[in-house]
Structure 1
Amino acid sequence: MAVSLREDRTGGSVDHFLALLQDRLPLWLSILHNLSHRIGKGSVSDNLVPIARAGIEYYMDVQSAALPAFTSPNVTVRFREAVRDTDLGPRTETAPLAAYLAAEQSLGRIGPDVDPEASARLLIAGCFHRAYIEMFIGADAGPSLDASALEIVRELRLETVPA
């Protein structure tokens, strides 16, 4: 992927962004995949809050490097092609979350009306948005990182309500 995106000069914003992705993405994906070990254990919300916190931290790390890398439409197109060629699109992040949610749903720990795919996308979107706000407005523009993670998960309203 790095080779297909490299600008004519080395050390540019694309190189920096790719280096950051190569460093941070494997850890983020392993956190998401390790969620499978929590199926049926603890509460679903308690399992997801650390995921949301890690997601916010991941996006805070990579977003600041992404912006300068995409100032050129040419680079953006090459990046999109590279993402497609390497299968590192959004499904890379949402698939393990959706699988976890579907497994919890099959155990009756999440209501049958919950859409695991949509819920996974919403959790990721909440993390991305929180990181975006902090990057542009500042950390004091909203709730703390921990409170934000808790809000994101709580507002997904995944837990079944006892009869």
Structure 2
Amino acid sequence: MSDEAAAPLSGGALTRSRILDAAAALMTNVGLAHTTTKQIAKEAGCSEAALYKHFRSKEEIFVRVLHERVPQFSEALAELPERAGDDRGPAGHLREVALAALRFYRRSFPIAASLFASPELLATHRRKLDELGGVGPQNAAQHLAAYLAAEQELGRVAATADPYAAANLLIGACFHRAFLDLFFGGEMPAGAVRPASEEEFAAETVRALLGGVGV
């Protein structure tokens, strides 16, 4: 790691980082709808005016929290189609995708849940995503389907498989598992989720998927 990369944040960069940390904590604990820029500024140890020097709105802060304070998912998938045909193979890449999806949904659910309680807030969020160039939840399935289609062209995924259906199956399984993890929290009933560990979940889910679309 370079000295520049290792250097601690200072000045405006430090303030911005503290704002995002504070926003992530508040949005997780009290929900997006009940989090205000005044609360975020207070938690970050800065003025609300300082907050608005870095972000134009609460919605922009929310989007940046998802991009910078939540384990990344769709961005990593954007490069996946270029890796079709490499030695890692579909099984290795899909396990990686499953783990990334599970961790992303588990972290982002508590932050984003309140979006769906407010049609106005949800509409504002969609507009913000459009302003950022079409970023959105649909990207993950699109990127994953493109990767599977590329592997299909190479003969490593069955010619009869539907790449979009396969992508939706994998992402849907991860979404559901993350929901169960959060729903039960530390009181998970015995046998409620199988396999129990996330690594085994990723491996077995991919094994089942490739049993249907593999060559």
Q: Secondary structure at the match of 2:158?
A: coil
1:16–1:65 Cα contact (<8 Å) kept: no
Q: Secondary structure at the match of 1:148?
A: helix
Alignment equivalent of 1:113, drawn from 146, 151, 160? 160
Q: Name 2:175's counterpart in structure 1.
A: 128
Q: Secondary structure at the match of 1:119?
A: helix
For the structure 1 residues 31 and 50, does the alpha-carbon distance in structure 2 shift closer, same or farther, using more than 3 Å as the test?
same
Structure-to-structure mapping, 1:25-36, within 5 angstroms = 27-36=72-81
Separation of aligned partners in 2, 1:16 and 1:133 = 27
For residues 91-121 of structure 1, the C-alpha deviation after alignment (integer angstroms, 9 at most, x for no partner) is 3212221111011101111111111112112
Alignment equivalent of 1:100, drawn from 118, 126, 147? 147
For the structure 1 residues 64 and 7, does the alpha-carbon distance in structure 2 shift closer, same or farther, using more than 3 Å as the test?
closer
Separation of aligned partners in 2, 1:137 and 1:8 = 25
Separation of aligned partners in 1, 2:35 and 2:147 = 42
Deviation at 1:35, TM superposition (A): 2.2
Identity of aligned residues (%): 35
Deviation at 1:88, TM superposition (A): 1.8
Separation of aligned partners in 1, 2:62 and 2:109 = 9
For the structure 1 residues 79 and 49, does the alpha-carbon distance in structure 2 shift closer, same or farther, using more than 3 Å as the test?
same
Is 2:214 aligned against 1:159? Answer: yes
Query: Counterpart amino acid of 1:105?
Result: Q
Equivalenced residues, count: 156
Q: Which moved more, 1:69-78 or 1:98-107?
A: 69-78
Runs of 5+ in structure 2 lacking a partner?
1-31, 41-57
Return the index of the structure with the highest Cα Rg: 2
For the structure 1 residues 137 and 25, does the alpha-carbon distance in structure 2 shift closer, same or farther, using more than 3 Å as the test?
closer
Deviation at 1:82, TM superposition (A): 3.2
Deviation at 1:150, TM superposition (A): 1.7
Separation of aligned partners in 1, 2:206 and 2:127 = 32
Separation of aligned partners in 1, 2:92 and 2:159 = 20
Structure-to-structure mapping, 1:44-123, within 5 angstroms = 44-85=90-131, 86-123=133-170
Separation of aligned partners in 1, 2:143 and 2:122 = 26
Q: Which moved more, 1:26-35 or 1:38-47?
A: 26-35
Deviation at 1:84, TM superposition (A): 4.3
Q: Normalising by the residue count of structure 2, what TM-score does the alignment of the two structures yield?
A: 0.61
Q: Which moved more, 1:87-96 or 1:55-64?
A: 87-96
Q: Which moved more, 1:60-69 or 1:6-15?
A: 6-15
Runs of 5+ in structure 1 lacking a partner?
none
Q: Which moved more, 1:126-135 or 1:42-51?
A: 42-51
